């Protein structure tokens, strides 16, 4: 099970979106004090009458973190083992709740903004989770889409699939850039990306691997966080974007885990900026 969080915030001269693949973190990441370009913790709400009331009141509050959960289908190994997710997870899409069964007599229920079952298409996931953030970025706000979950739960699948053989499999990054490029004129605007990985406490440039210790700079006055050492590459068209993603992916640190033969092992961060 992977969760995705979407955040929208006001921006200044440029419009930025941040798409991250947050790997193997046991606890939600800490909340950044800077609202712009920030990675924020997901707001899992345990279902209780008061919490449900608060969630309804929250709807439409600008800048609120929205959290969706996606259940992936069983993989080949799980099929062979005849694993049954229903033993521990029950999705209740009509009320957007997920029940985690601890044992036969004890369970916890959580409420999400969106629940995506194993039958949810990549298109549906994009439209529910990321499209609103992309639209908000095109309106001049900063936005972040973050995937979070245990190894093998489908973060890379959800965000990073290029969908070259099967266009229906295109993930959030490819679909987001398609929508950005459909909206802007590259004759008058410029769209650029940085693509990075966070591994073993250092940030490496996936578009220029020799640049392997990028520092994080925080403006003491505004609290804005930036990575001045990261390559910023201008996008000419969708094809050039996909080529950069492929280049970056080739530089990503990967190794197998017990649960995923092609585990990414690092946090990937794609940043796009649109300059007016
Ligand atoms: N919704 C889905 N539909 C079909 N297959 C999926 C889905 N989600 C994930 N998978 C498959 O499950 C496997 C693990 O997915 P993925 O590599 O995206 O996990 P991950 O969370 O990025 O793992 P890691 O953190 O180890 O990098 C892959 O083979 C992927 O193709």
CATH of the domain at 13: 3.40.850.10
The answer to whether residues 166 and 156 touch, using CB atoms and an 8 Å cutoff, is no
The token pair that represents 71 in the structure block: 């259940």
In which band, very low, low, confident or very high, does the pLDDT at 54 lie, cut at 50, 70 and 90?
very low
Does 155 contact ligand 1 (Cβ within 6 A)? yes
Structure confidence at residue 259 (pLDDT): 60
Does 153 contact ligand 1 (Cβ within 6 A)? yes
pLDDT, mean over the chain: 80
Q: Which residue has the higher pLDDT, 59 or 226?
A: 226
pLDDT surpassing 90 at residue 50? no
pLDDT surpassing 80 at residue 253? no
ipTM comes to 0.98
Cα–ligand 1 centroid distance for 161 (angstroms): 10
The token pair that represents 223 in the structure block: 């609290």
The domain of 123 spans 2-275
Rounded (5°) CA angle 182-192-175: 40
CA 246 to chain centre: 18
pLDDT surpassing 70 at residue 128? yes
Element (H, E) at 20: strand 14-23
Which one of 4-18, 52-66, 221-235 scores highest in mean pLDDT? 221-235
- Alpha-carbon distance of 17 to 133, in angstroms, equals 8
Residues 191-224 have pLDDT tens digits of 999 999 998 888 999 999 999 889 999 999 999 8
- Our count of domains for the chain comes to 1
Structure confidence at residue 48 (pLDDT): 34
Does 150 contact ligand 1 (Cβ within 6 A)? no
pLDDT surpassing 90 at residue 233? yes
């Amino acid at each position: 099970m992977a969760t995705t969080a979407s955040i929208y915030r006001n921006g200044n001269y440029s419009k930025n979106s941040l798409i991250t693949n947050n790997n193997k973190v046991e606890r939600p990441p800490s909340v950044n004090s800077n609202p712009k370009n920030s990675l924020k913790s997901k707001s899992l709400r345990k279902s209780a009458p008061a919490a449900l009331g608060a969630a309804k009141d929250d709807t439409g509050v600008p800048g609120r973190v929205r959290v969706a959960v996606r259940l992936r289908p069983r993989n080949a190994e799980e099929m062979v083992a005849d694993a049954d997710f229903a033993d521990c997870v029950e999705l209740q899409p009509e009320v957007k709740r997920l029940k985690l069964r601890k044992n036969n007599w004890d369970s916890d229920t959580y409420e999400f903004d969106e629940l995506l079952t194993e039958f949810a298409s990549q298109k549906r996931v994009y439209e529910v989770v990321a499209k609103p953030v992309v639209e908000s970025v095109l309106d001049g706000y900063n936005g972040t889409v973050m995937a979070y979950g245990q190894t093998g739960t489908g973060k890379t699948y959800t965000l990073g699939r290029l969908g070259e053989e099967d266009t229906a499999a295109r993930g959030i990054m490819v679909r987001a850039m398609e929508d950005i490029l459909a909206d802007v004129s590259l004759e008058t605007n410029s769209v650029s990306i940085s693509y990075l990985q966070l591994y073993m406490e250092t940030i490496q440039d996936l578009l220029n691997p020799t640049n392997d210790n990028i520092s994080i700079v925080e403006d003491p006055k505004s609290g804005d966080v930036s990575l001045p050492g990261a390559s910023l590459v201008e996008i000419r068209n969708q094809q050039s974007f996909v080529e950069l993603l492929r280049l970056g992916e080739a530089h990503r640190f990967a190794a197998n885990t017990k649960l995923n033969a092609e585990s990414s092992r690092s946090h990937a961060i794609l940043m796009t900026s649109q300059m007016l």
